[in-house]
Amino acid sequence: MKHQTSTCSDEQTEEDRKTVLLLNASEEVITVIDWTKAVHLLFTGKATKPYNYSDCYEIKTARGVYELPRAIILIEYVHIPYRDCAINKTNILKRDQNSCQYCGKHLGKKDFTIDHIVPKSKGGQNTWTNLVASCRKCNFKKGSKTLREAKMTLLREPKEPSKDYIHIVGIDTNTNKSWSRWIEIKGELK
Ligand SMILES: [Zn+2]
């Protein structure tokens, strides 16, 4: 095997958090998988290292150090039906990066509300562009008023996430900068 300049790092303390980006044969992102699954796919010949890619984890085994690529590509193309991101409270909170879209306050998983930008009473729909995560205080302040009536503004315009977005949110972006060839890293999404 040809040896490439590698950027492997030893992260034994992060054993449980080793995640591998799984790509279709066409290099479309499928999902993020646990490293043990990735090893299985590689050893059974179902996946391989992407072309010209050298970022990997170092896995210590009885036989020595195994270099596991941080992204793997399937040998055979698999058909994945288009997955819409479901509009639900959890996904809205994820899209809004766990912060109130009015005041920026960090929101806990159990302590947040979803605000209709155009209130339901004024015909507002349950859509990605009309729903935002909000703290209780801001939601109460806005009530059933429009933004203009409440004299409130949004920190950013809410958008429908791309189909891969929900899958990658929550992944530690520092250790997975090497995925930037295939995905937009959270925080850089516009
Ligand atoms: Zn708020």
Tens-binned pLDDT, residue by residue, of the chain (190 aa) = 444 444 554 444 455 678 899 998 988 888 888 899 999 999 999 999 999 999 999 988 898 999 999 999 999 988 766 556 778 898 899 889 899 999 999 998 888 999 999 999 999 999 999 999 999 999 999 999 999 999 999 999 998 876 555 455 445 555 567 787 877 654 443 3
Against a cut of 0.75, is the pTM above it? no
Residue 58 near residue 8, CB atoms below 8 Å: yes
Total Cβ atoms within 10 A of residue 130: 17
In terms of domains, do 110 and 17 share one? no
In terms of domains, do 97 and 50 share one? no
Query: 33 in a domain, yes or no?
Result: yes
Query: 184 in a domain, yes or no?
Result: no
Query: 129 in a domain, yes or no?
Result: yes
Give the contacts of 26 (CB within 8 A, at least 6 positions apart). Answer: 77
pLDDT at 171: 53
Residue 189 CA, ligand 1 centroid: distance in Å: 22
3-state secondary structure of 178: helix
Q: DSSP per residue over 120-144, as a string?
A: GGGT--SSTTTEEEE-HHHHHHHTT
Q: Is 38 exposed, middle or buried (0-12, 13-18, 19+ CB in 10 A)?
A: buried
Residue 35 near residue 20, CB atoms below 8 Å: yes
In terms of domains, do 143 and 168 share one? no
Residue 139 CA, ligand 1 centroid: distance in Å: 7
Query: 123 in a domain, yes or no?
Result: yes
Query: 167 in a domain, yes or no?
Result: yes
Query: 7 in a domain, yes or no?
Result: no
Residue 106 CA, ligand 1 centroid: distance in Å: 9
3-state secondary structure of 41: helix
Question: Which residue bears the tokens 């959890």?
Answer: 90
In terms of domains, do 141 and 122 share one? yes
Residue 138 CA, ligand 1 centroid: distance in Å: 4
- In the sheet that holds 47-48, the strands lie side by side as 29-34, 19-23, 71-74, 47-48
Residue 155 CA, ligand 1 centroid: distance in Å: 10
CATH number, domain containing residue 94:
1.10.30.50
Q: How many domains are contained in the chain?
A: 2
In terms of domains, do 94 and 116 share one? yes
Query: 126 in a domain, yes or no?
Result: yes
State the greatest distance between any 2 C-alpha atoms of the chain, in Å, as a whole number: 68
Q: Which residue range is the domain that position 112 belongs to?
A: 89-150
Query: 37 in a domain, yes or no?
Result: yes
Give the contacts of 94 (CB within 8 A, at least 6 positions apart). Answer: 166, 169, 170
pLDDT at 134: 97
Q: How far is the C-alpha of 106 from the C-alpha of 78, rounded, in Å?
A: 39
